[in-house]
Every structure is written in structure tokens, then in C-alpha cells.
Structure 1
Amino acid sequence: MNPTHLSGSTEPQGSKSSSSQTTEPSKHGKIDANSMASTTADLLFQGSQQNNSNNGGGADSASQKACRACTDFRSWMKAHNKADPTITKVVPAKRPQCPLARDELGRSTWSFLHTMAAYYPNEPNTQQQREMKTFINLFSKFYPCDDCAEHLREDLKTNQPDTTSRHNLSQWMCRAHNRVNIMLGKSEFDCSKVDERWRDGWKDGSCD
């Protein structure tokens, strides 16, 4: 179908091309609306044809994308950019209520564990100490990231949680997190600031 049909133009064949008329003013000094619409349709049609030829009709574009659920978000984006060169550095806003990728799950989990330790009793009774230790050991068996859970179980073989007080548990959790940070090549957190970070807020008042 001739793309000018999409614009509603009734210009007879043999007249000047629509692209040349877009810059030619009418008797009243205004650009003809039909010519402008015809040119826009031409450009859209040509752009569509070019994209289809470049993408092979789009049949394989979906199969070239990386599996997001199988890796962390940063690696997924790198692989996705390689598969689709049309993607720019601008990442669209993430839709809410989507399954967590590995790095998102890790951040959320550490936030929960540190906050739980920060609100643990200052002087827990024997039952509370036992239950917290049991919880952390059971947690290492059911954490959704298999290799992360395995690493935690290995760490617990020689570093059982200190549940004798809120301070001791918070410090144990911070050291456990730092061991993971070292393994991942990340900087260590200053464990003297766990209460500021996870319970009281920073002393400069930025959290107030």
C-alpha cells in the first residue's frame, strides 16, 4: 500500500513529491497540512522498513535476550545491551511487584537481618537466645539463592551467631556481612556504626 494513503492525502499522481512540498509555503504563507501528513507517513513507512530489515523481521530478538531470573540485575543489563544495540544507557523505571533478582534479594535480606539484630533484646533469656540461633541456622537452609545459602552454611560451621545480647548479635551480623563483602570484592562496613545505620539513624540528623 502506498504510505501516502495512510495520511488521507488525495494528491493526484504526477504532482510534486510530498517531501518537496513540506518546505513550500501556500498562498497564505503556511505549510500545507496534507503535504506535512504525507511526508510524516513516508518517513514512518521507510523507518519501519529499515528496522525490519536490520532486525531480520524481529523473529529472533526475544531469543537473544538474557535470562533475568538466572543472574543479577547488573549482569543481566550488560548481556541485554549486547543482545540489543538499540538500548541506550537510560534504563526505564522498573515496574513494581516484579520478582527479585539476585542482587535485589541480597540487599533486602541483609536489611532485614541487620534490622532484626538491631531490635533484638538487650538481655535475651535462654529461650530467646536458643530460638534466634535456631532461626539463623534454619534460614541458611531455605534462602532462595542456592550458592549464597551454601556459603552461609559453611560460614556457620565455624562462626555460630552470638545471641547473648543485642550488641553481640549486631556485631556478629556485621562481621558475617563483611566476610561476604570481602569475598565479593566490596568494601567493608564499619561495625561500630551498626546502630546508626540500622536502629538510631545517622548522628548528622540526615535520617530525621
Structure 2
Amino acid sequence: MNLPTSFPASSSSAATSPDTASSQPRKTTKETHPHLPPGLILDENGKVCKVCNSWADISKIKKKGPNAGEESQGKKTLAGMGGFASMLNASQSSQSSQSSPSSSSSSSSTTTRSIPVSTATDEEGSTDRTNCPPDNAALGRSTWTFLHTTAAYYPLQANERQQTQMTNLLESLSIFYPCNWCATDFRRDIKKNPPISAVAGRESLMKWLCARHNEVNQKLGKEEFSCEVKNLDARWKDGPEDGSCD
């Protein structure tokens, strides 16, 4: 999303009033945070928000270069699910999903096993973060995958209870999405484009979510995905006709 992409941070963000939260994220600057790279998104408590930034941005904290972070202050703020999450820099290009290579879990010298933490690198030399907390791109990609797939399996004609439950799901997501400003963006989006009629059935819900996702792609300057039902089914339910996903 911008989950919202697009798309409040866990427990703390849930307490944030939807009406007082800013539509734009607070960021570090050379003046306000001289010890940090400029352009990092902050949470509602003024701390660097890991789930609101990309791993590349977070890694600049260690480098502390004089220009670290400046080049990514623009589009990275839209990552997610976003948007739903930013939500946003959400690497949602054409709704493509990618999987990270698996990493082997490590154990301590004692009989107690430690939580798997990967420090391995893949063939291209990038760190395998399979067992690391998600950044904004991973969270946004996973959220969109869940939403689109859920819509693909939604009843063709939903009853009143199912419609209410789906509406509650979407509204809850706009409150509890871990990236708080992404959640705010999505709240405003669904207020402008309420899913009242969309939750009536599978096809209308699929198209509605596709439109929300394309708004994020538009902000990111990415190609929009066709919202025709046959294309959505091929992407999220049945797979392409050539059988390449069978």
C-alpha cells in the first residue's frame, strides 16, 4: 500500500489519532539530526522507523557519510503498501513478487538453539535478510500480495456479514499498518474512495484494490497494472495461460 502506499506503528501507532497524524512522514535533516543521514523517515516518537525505510536507507546510519540518504528522499517516502505500505519505495513494480533465498539457521555451542539470524550473502553479494524484520518494501509487497489474493478468493456475491467483515479488515489495516504515515495515507484514500460497493463481490473488490495499488504505482512512476478481471485472475489466482506457474 501507499499501504497506502501503499496500504500507525503496531501498538504505539494505534494510539495516534487518524485526524492528527501527518500525511507526510517526518524525516531526519542535517539540522535536526546531525548524527544521522538526512532523509530517514521517523516514527511518531521521533525515532528512526525501520519498517518505514528501506534496508539501503537504514544501512546508511552505519556509514554516516556526509551525503548519505540525500539521493533517496523523494520516491522512498512512497514505498510501501505503501503504501499499503510505502504503503510505499514499496517495490511494487507491476505487482511482481519475488522470493528471497533461504538461509540456514544457526545454533549456539550449548544445547539451546538461538533464533535464526542470517548474515549470508547471495550470489550478487547482497545480504540475505530472510530472517530479518521487514523493511518498507518487504512489508508493502507482502501486504499487497495478501490483499490481492484474498480478493481473488472472495465470494462472487458476498452476503451482508462477509461485506461487513471485509470492510472491517480494510479499515483495520488503515489503522494498524506498522508504517504510521502509510496508514494515514491509506485512511485518506479509502475515505476518498470508500469500498462500500466494492465489497459486494469478488470482481468489484479485485478491481477496487487494483485501482488503489495503481495509485501507488502512479506516485512511484511505475507502470500500472491492468485491472481487467482476467488479468487479475491470472496474476493472483489461476496463473498465466502458458502454464508457467503450474
TM-score (norm 2): 0.51
Q: Would you say the 8 A contact 1:142–1:149 is kept in 2?
A: yes
Match of 1:135 in 2: 169
Question: 1:171 aligns to what?
Answer: 207
1:197 matches 2:231: no
Structure 1 residue 93 displacement after superposition: 3.8
Which letter does structure 1 place at the counterpart of 2:57? S
Greater helix content: 1
The structural deviation recorded for 1:105 is 0.5
| TM-aligned CA distance change 1:203 to 1:81, over 3 Å | farther
Give the deviation of 1:181 after TM superposition: 1.1
- Does the C-alpha gap of structure 1 residues 64 and 160 become closer, same or farther in structure 2, counting only changes over 3 Å? closer
* Structure 2 partner of 1:103: 137
1:134 deviation in Å? 1.5
CA separation of 1:105 and 1:124: change in aligned 2, threshold 3 A: same
| Residue 57 of structure 2 is aligned to residue 75 of structure 1 | yes
Corresponding residue SS for 2:174? helix
**Structure 2 Cα separation of the partners of residues 79 and 207 of structure 1:** 40
1:116-149 Cα deviation digits (max 9, x unpaired):
1111011111111111112101110000011111
Larger of the two Rg values belongs to structure: 1
1:123 aligns with 2:157: yes
Matched to 1:135, the amino acid is: L
**Residue of structure 1 aligned with 2:194, choices 160, 172, 178:** 160
The 5 Å alignment of 1:34-113 reads 69=50, 71-76=53-58, 83=65, 90-113=124-147
- Does residue 149 of structure 1 match 2:187? no
Kindly indicate whether the alpha-carbon contact (under 8 Å) linking 1:123 and 1:166 is maintained by their aligned counterparts in 2. Answer: yes
> What's the offset of the Cα at 1:187?
1.4
Q: Is the 8 A contact 1:68 1:101 kept in 2?
A: no
Structure 1 pair 200–138 and aligned structure 2 pair: CA distance change class (3 A): same
Give the count of matched residue pairs.
Answer: 141
2:225 counterpart letter in structure 1: F
Report the Cα distance in structure 1 between the residues aligned to 2:150 and 2:237, rounded to whole angstroms. Answer: 10
Contact 1:68 1:76 in 2 (8 A): no
Partners of 2:137 and 2:129 lie apart in 1 by 17
What are structure 1's unaligned runs of at least 5 residues? 1-62, 84-88
* CA deviation string 1:68-126 (max 9, x = no partner): 8262134346776785xxxxx94334143210001110001000000011110111111
Q: CA RMSD for the aligned pairs?
A: 2.6
Higher relative contact order (CA 8 A, sep 6+): 2
Q: Which moved more, 1:72-81 or 1:189-198?
A: 72-81
- Secondary structure of the 1:191 match is coil
C-alpha spacing 1:80/1:118, structure 2 compared with 1 (3 Å): farther
Identity of aligned residues (%): 43
Q: Is 1:185–2:167 an aligned residue pair?
A: no
